[in-house]
Amino acid sequence: GPAIMGGRIDEFAVVESDPKIVYVGTASGGVWKTTNAGTTWTPIFDGQPVSSIGAVALAPSDPSILWVGTGEANNRQSSSWGNGVYKSTDAGKTFTNVGLADSHHIGRIAVHPANPETVYVAAVGRLWGPNRERGLFKTTDGGATWKNVLFVDENTGVTDAVLDRTAPDTIY
């Protein structure tokens, strides 16, 4: 449709121990996976209620754990919103929504390098209006609960977060 323009890749994640395995998150086409360095691609997120993806991240300590943030975070007239964060523990075969449903647009997911249960989510929030589910969220229990660790106000979201791999308590 005219409000969902395709063709944009928002994020990708590569399995470091096997770089032939790559996940790609698209603006309006879900998540795709290749296991042969891009020769062929398989859609793996088609069973979910949203197809707009803003972030994809693998757990460095366990590449079978894949995190997906829905809602493209690039602010444009054709950006579609999402319904939170999804987690797969079987390399993208199945997904579970683990919360932050009202974050609408997720710009980045950062997974702790040694503990895949500790994850940070940069949530933009609604692109065209205020809401409280904005900021930098953290889970230490694999998505069962979330705490907003950086909240400015209802009009200010977070678009990026990077953990220092040698000192993962340092967040940029």
| Dihedral sign computed on CA atoms, order 66, 67, 70, 72 | negative
CB distance 66 to 84 below 8 Å = no
CB distance 16 to 60 below 8 Å = yes
Whole-number pLDDT of residue 128? 83
CB-count exposure of residue 42 (10 Å: 0-12, 13-18, 19+): exposed
Whether residue 53 has pLDDT greater than 70: yes
Whole-number pLDDT of residue 5? 55
pTM for this predicted structure: 0.93
Q: 71 or 73: whose pLDDT is higher?
A: 71
Whether residue 29 has pLDDT greater than 70: yes
Distance CA 98, CA 113 (A): 20
Q: What is the DSSP letter of 132?
A: S
CB-count exposure of residue 55 (10 Å: 0-12, 13-18, 19+): buried
Whole-number pLDDT of residue 2? 47
